Structure 1
């Protein structure tokens, strides 16, 4: 039985209470450790080696690391950067930071030395915790990071403290810092499609309490679940679905510590081999899964699946349901928020829609004057923040008051995404406000065209952008990665164009198609359409000279 049984009733009555003082590690996490055998974390590597840690063991390890922080003068309010893969030390570091009032800034292993330096410059962090591979990148720029005082490595390296050695020597008792609910807790650098990354500040309450909505209502978790989120530990999605969401509900977090590239077959095998009950993955993962012969696998434990990052294509949802018996429930939110809109298990799914507004929020489509637009009309997706700011929204962009202010329009926080709400209250994603294509007076969202293309057997992935055109202003251009066994011929271009014309309004079909080997993406896996747009502008400019 789902955690939410009646959406309307829950939506009307739901309210998150926020106390003045709140420390998620002690007030939420530690209570699950009262049962000394309750499994909190289960990590499996590429060779089948397993690490299992109970909630009680994680509490003790994080108390030890908090004492290591104190011993090295890393104080409440100080900022530390952590770049660790799906290894237990990542979870221990997150817990120790919250416990001690240290502000933690997670990053992905795809960061370069230059990226790391930028993060130190922007945040003023005093310490970093990384693995041996990342430590070399840190050392390459450490001399240019004046605030960096303490370097901790998981492994061994000259000039660095050893994570395991320090923990083994540390005391396992630690009196947690008495943090206020609105004290800074986490800094996430957004992977945005434009400009330099912004530092999104979340408090102990905004993510710690706010993600109760994410874990209970969307991930549908209980303390009996084993939950697997495929996201990299460096993105905010890991806070959603690999940390706060599951552990708010007492679920066991499962993780695959893989050093290689994304391997859809391996993930499907693990879903068959391990008792994973709930799965969270990006749309690109599910698109890879459905290209396999899913009848070869046994999804005996799997009961609930979700996807986030961008809306999922109907074709993929249907194939996955046929094979596993589970519907993929879309969810929508940002680094700056918890879950804002979702398909919840108790609601009928309208395939292609992101679902309905999360309990605790009022989400609407608004116009340029901050007024709600009627059902069926496109607008900016926005969250009402007055008279009361909902729990689960970020506090600010760190040290950037102008950028923070730019997200507010009247009584609303504006997400920067465009959408339509239908008569039944379902929200349909149109695209990023800056990704919209304006062609002959039509406003075309790239996602609808990409959704149509992906339904063709020849298309593995695509990105759709505006390309300048003298007659139409802009035309729809598609960059297509072909599925194995297909060749990018003029005949296939024609076939794909006609295919899209038949699935969507004819004016939306891609007038140009370019076959490519790869697409530019942010570190969190989102397609950087801005790069493709800029490339098109440059190309058309040169053609017209």
Structure 2
């Protein structure tokens, strides 16, 4: 696909269309074709946990994925088999994904934080046949496998000791041919490409299925939202265990001709170290959740040469206006926000030819017919809040999931009157920009007011004492609900009645006074899913016990 230049959002929507080739398979039709045409073209710059830098071209990924595809085939993996991949940001993750695409197996990217119980549940629910995992995670897989009858093939990456019955990834590749011709029954088009387990904040995770045409939807992500072209070096900070990895480190970036920069750090990121990497490695395009930017602006940014950066994006949670302004003041670069889900590619975004509005997620992507619909099923006018819904009749946009596997009732409940209901609420201003409010069940109804948690959280984190906050509603006999904030304090601040009063007054000054938190609970950390989303439902459950 070729990137086109657009002068305005309206021109973008009018002229841009996703091209869907017949029988599309990303591994064969993008990576292998790049390797055949320009084999030494840089595909990835990789920094391993020891700081060792490696640069890999498309020929490398083409041949190594072919080797692993041959090895997996020899081990008994074939088209349609499901393969759980639990790897850090090591190069093996990209090789494994591509190998599965070539074989026609269905990868299930999974976080390295999964417990034995998590692995057992997911393997049995998804009927996983093969697991490719880190040596540091292999013991958990080993502990779970006895209760996983579908699990037949175990592959270990890294240099740890192999348990009995396991295959070594390096050996599997070394012993295999680097030629894997496109099969006659090649997985493509509407065949299953991959499965994500959604990390919902309530209930058990659901299986989200995407087809082989799904990567094409991410050309918008890489070429236009990330504003990438040949030679650009792009860093998305996401881990490889969930959807943001393929959003920002794989499909769209390579299709746009960019170099994927991968920093394989382990554990929590250090903002100073991240800034050093961006400066030293001359990163040109960067994407991370607002929390990452929030930590970076607390550093002395004048110590780092960030002049190579030309474009910055953010997604995954709501962007506070104060973070936007601080980053722009320090770097000269605005933050371009985007919105999507595990169930989709990018749905709504601020693109380079648009003027970013701090806190707005932007406008609908071309090909995505988005409407805000109220509880009565009516489309909302400007200024009215409603649920973000995607029209799927007469056709789904490229990049929207096929449904929740093996749970038709959950799929059906998300489809109403020809729309996929995202479960997220927003409102649209007079200029057509969308403003995210939160999950439909997160809104607080207090004394007739409807208060979005994000509004209060945004106000709280502009106070130097607050690193993170989660706002929920608690029962109140007079107001129906009262606003409660669960707060993580910055270093150097201690809990006191005086600080609570100070934070309450601060919120009253920053936003509407009726939104201030009448209760503030101080914690050392917020409960989160393995993908980093705040578990407000867990906080609400505790609140129901404590504030009856």
Report the TM range for the smaller structure's normalisation. over 0.9
Deviation at 1:340, TM superposition (A): 0.6
Count of residues in Structure 1 that have an aligned counterpart in Structure 2: 540
Q: Distance in 2 between matches of 1:175 and 1:200?
A: 29
Aligned to 1:181: 189
In the alignment, which residue of structure 2 is the partner of 1:27?
Answer: 29
Structure 1 segment 142-541 matched on structure 2, within 5 A: 142-155=145-158, 156-159=161-164, 160-177=166-183, 178-206=186-214, 208-541=215-548
Residues in 2 aligned to 1:506 and 1:31: alpha-carbon distance in whole angstroms: 59
Question: How much does 1:323 deviate?
Answer: 1.6
Using the TM superposition, give the Cα deviation of residue 369 of structure 1 relative to its aligned residue in structure 2, in angstroms.
Answer: 4.1
SS of 2:420's partner is strand
1:246-282: per-residue Cα shift (whole Å, max 9, x none)?
1111211111111232211110111111021111101
Counterpart Cα distance in 2 of 1:345 and 1:15: 18
Task: Note closer, same or farther for the CA distance 1:137–1:398 as it changes in structure 2 (3 Å cut).
Answer: same
* Displacement of 1:4: 4.0
Give the drift of 1:442: 1.4
**What is the rounded CA distance, in whole Å, between the counterparts of 1:97 and 1:327 in structure 2?**
38
Q: Runs of 5+ in structure 1 lacking a partner? A: none
Mapped partners of 1:148, 1:223: distance in 2: 41
How far the C-alpha of 1:151 sits from its partner, in A, is: 0.2
Match in the other structure for 1:18: 20
- Partners of 2:414 and 2:492 lie apart in 1 by 46
SS in 1 for 2:547: helix
* Structure 1 SS opposite 2:344: coil
1:55 aligned residue (39, 54, 58): 58
Greater CA drift, 134-143 or 323-332: 323-332
Q: Deviations over 1:302-361 (max 9, x none)?
A: 111111011211111111112222111110000001001111111011111111111111
Return the offset for 1:143. Answer: 0.5
Inter-partner Cα distance in structure 1 for 2:289 and 2:27: 28
Task: Pick from 107, 131, 135 the counterpart of residue 132 of structure 1.
Answer: 135
The offset of 1:504, in angstroms, is 1.4
Provide the secondary structure at the position in 1 that maps to 2:537.
helix
Partner of 1:6: 8
In structure 2, distance between residues paired with 1:506 and 1:455: 16
How far residue 46 of structure 1 moved from its aligned partner, in angstroms, is 3.4
State the Cα distance separating 1:502 from its structure 2 match.
Answer: 1.4
The one-character-per-residue Cα deviations of 1:175-195 (angstroms, maximum 9, x if unpaired) are: 124223111011000111111
In 1, distance between residues paired with 2:82 and 2:330? 46
TM-score (norm 1): 0.97
Are the aligned partners of 1:370 and 1:412 in contact in 2 as well (CA < 8 Å)? no
Q: Distance in 1 between matches of 2:43 and 2:178?
A: 18
Superposed displacement of residue 17, structure 1: 3.0
Q: State how far apart, in whole Å, the 2-side matches of 1:29 and 1:322 are.
A: 39
- How far has the Cα of 1:98 moved from its partner? 1.0
More divergent stretch after superposition (434-443 vs 80-89): 434-443
The C-alpha deviation readout for 1:420-466, integer Å capped at 9, x for no partner, is: 01111100001100111111121111011101111111111111111
Match of 2:96 in 1: 93
Q: Does 1:83 align with 2:86?
A: yes
Structure 1 residue matching 2:313: 3-state secondary structure: strand
Pick which of 336-345 and 150-159 moved more: 150-159
- Between 1:386-395 and 1:45-54, the stretch displaced more is 45-54
Q: What corresponds to 1:103 in structure 2?
A: 106
Q: 2: distance between equivalents of 1:269 and 1:331?
A: 25
Displacement of 1:200: 0.2
Tell me by how many angstroms 1:29 deviates: 2.2
Aligned mates of 1:46, 1:145 — CA distance in 2: 32
TM-score, normalising length from structure 2?
A: 0.97
SS in 2 for 1:340: strand
CA deviation profile, 1:192-229 (whole Å, cap 9, x unmatched): 111100000000102x1111111111011112111111
Deviation at 1:418, TM superposition (A): 0.4
Instruction: Please say if residues 370 and 409 of structure 1, whose CA atoms lie closer than 8 Å, have aligned partners that are also in contact.
Output: no
| Cα distance in structure 2, aligned partners of 1:151 and 1:40 | 28
Distance 2:475 2:190 in 1: 46
Aligned equivalents of 1:3, 1:45: Cα separation in 2? 36
CA distance in 1, matches of 2:39, 2:196: 32
**2 CA distance for matches of 1:77 and 1:369?**
41
Report the secondary structure of 2:97's partner residue.
helix
Q: Which residue of the other structure, out of 114, 117, 134, is the alignment partner of 1:114?
A: 117
Deviation at 1:371, TM superposition (A): 2.7
SS in 2 for 1:406: helix
Unaligned runs of 5+ in 2: none
